[in-house]
Amino acid sequence: MKRLALVFILLLAVAGFLGWAISQSAGYVLITYDQFRYESSFWVFLALVACLWLLALAVHWLLGLLQVSGALVNPWSRRHRARRAEKASRRGLRELAEGQWGPALTHLQLAAEKDRQPLVHYLGAARAANELGEYAQSDELLQKAREREPEAALAIGLTQAQLQIARGQYVEARASLSELQSEHPRHPYVLTLLQQLYVQLEDWSALCRLLPELRKHRVLPPARLSELEVLAWTAAVEQAGQPSELPVESGIETLNQRWQTVPSSLRGEPLVVRAYADGLARLGAQPKAEEVLYAAIKRQFDDRLVERYGRIHGRDPARQLAHAEGWLKEHPQNPVLLLALGRLSLRNELWGKARDYLEASLRFDHRPETCAELARLLAQLGDTESSNRLFQQGVGLLDRNLPATL
């Protein structure tokens, strides 16, 4: 309200000043050019100039209004092209999320052609084409993305590797990711995709070489990384311990070399130790396997290692049994240890002790393998009825873990 009053007072002052100026002198303006001659008072000329200026403003406003109206009406105007591209983008991204690959491909291609920043649309269209099995078109769309936005090479390369993995093109995906790793050695998602690819390919040696980078750059949560380390090194040691066409000595040497590459923090891990002992046993080095298992169990008692210890044929069966009986003091009710003791007693031909250990194991846990061991012993001792009953119990325990028949 105060502002309006101030403007009104200002207008009155200007009008008063103009009135006073006009009353003092009318002024005179003369314009001549060739045959043209114009003359009037100064104030009339000034009013004419003001009218012409207002007319110019009105014409400019009218032309602007007509231009906007034309843009709204003309389907080929820049405004309409932008709106069509935006609409295609929204529809295409929604269809991509919904798994409508055909419509998504059409709309995202249209949006990519019209948008100044088409990267997201090209990548989405490439994925849609890949899902449709149009691999050549998918690669072509990725190439267009490279041409339009060369600075986005990393994003495009990651998408290409993902699509190659989805196609089962593991060799090509490995090449793509290796190239990306050389250019971006610390990029978390490059390392993550490499890790997933190596697991898919069961290339445990490559995964073991990658593990330090995964830990260094904290690509995975600590718990998941520790789990992956155990998986990779267990599988790598197991792979090295498989029989081959090479001489047995060469196989054992290869296995020992692989064992030496295992990080010291994992050499006490039961799964890794068991894989090493199993490999030695497969290659005929059972006495060495017994020593490895015994040393590991002394450090950390573990049922999985104890179970293997009962199967391994060491150099001295009596000493092996004595070692196992030494653990009984701290684990008197452990069914796995009692089963291992029963097996070792069988190997030492101590039938009565074997029977006692196996029956004790069954009292704490009914395991199919314990039933089978005791049934064989009873059959050997002539107790056929008890042997058959135990065999049936073992089969019944196995049936619980089998899928139901249709």
- In this prediction, residue 77 has a pLDDT band, given cuts at 50, 70 and 90, of very low
What is the CA angle 60-61-63, rounded to 5? Answer: 65
Confidence (pLDDT) at 18: 66
Mean pLDDT value across residues 68-82: 52
Of 69-73, 135-139, 239-243, 346-350, which gets the smallest average pLDDT? 69-73
Confidence (pLDDT) at 297: 96
Global confidence as pTM: 0.73
Of 50-59, 156-165, 390-399, which gets the smallest average pLDDT? 390-399
Confidence (pLDDT) at 48: 76
| Phi, psi (rounded to 5 degrees) for 181 | -65, -35
- The b/e string for 356-374 (b: 16+ C-beta within 10 A; e otherwise) is ebbebbbebeebbebbbbb
pLDDT digits (tens, 9 = 90+) for 355-393: 999 999 989 988 888 888 888 887 888 877 777 787 777
State how far Cα 137 lies from the chain centre: 25
168 token code pair: 């089962």
Give the SS3 label for residue 37.
strand
State how far the Cα of 235 lies from the Cα of 229, in Å rounded to an integer: 10
Of 31-35, 65-69, 121-125, 131-135, which gets the smallest average pLDDT? 65-69
Contact 346, 331 (CB under 8 A): no
Confidence (pLDDT) at 406: 45
Mean pLDDT value across residues 182-191: 94
Quick one: 15 exposed, middle or buried, by C-beta within 10 A (0-12, 13-18, 19+)?
A: exposed
- What residue type is 312 in one-letter code? I
Contact 176, 164 (CB under 8 A): yes
- In this prediction, residue 84 has a pLDDT band, given cuts at 50, 70 and 90, of confident
Give the SS3 label for residue 132.
coil
DSSP strands (E only) in 84-144: none
Task: Identify the helix (H) or strand (E) that includes residue 78.
Answer: helix 78-98
Contact 238, 279 (CB under 8 A): yes
Of 29-33, 236-240, 313-317, which gets the smallest average pLDDT? 29-33
Give the C-alpha distances (Å, rounded to integers) separating 138 from 128, 168, 180, 331. 8, 15, 19, 62
pLDDT digits (tens, 9 = 90+) for 197-216: 999 999 999 999 999 999 99
pLDDT digits (tens, 9 = 90+) for 124-179: 999 999 999 999 999 999 999 999 999 999 999 999 999 999 999 999 999 999 99
pLDDT digits (tens, 9 = 90+) for 276-333: 999 999 999 999 999 999 999 999 999 999 999 999 999 999 999 999 999 999 999 9
Give yes or no for residue 70 having a pLDDT over 60: no
State how far Cα 95 lies from the chain centre: 23
Contact 337, 306 (CB under 8 A): yes
Give the C-alpha distances (Å, rounded to integers) separating 89 from 96, 116, 146. 10, 12, 19
- In this prediction, residue 49 has a pLDDT band, given cuts at 50, 70 and 90, of confident
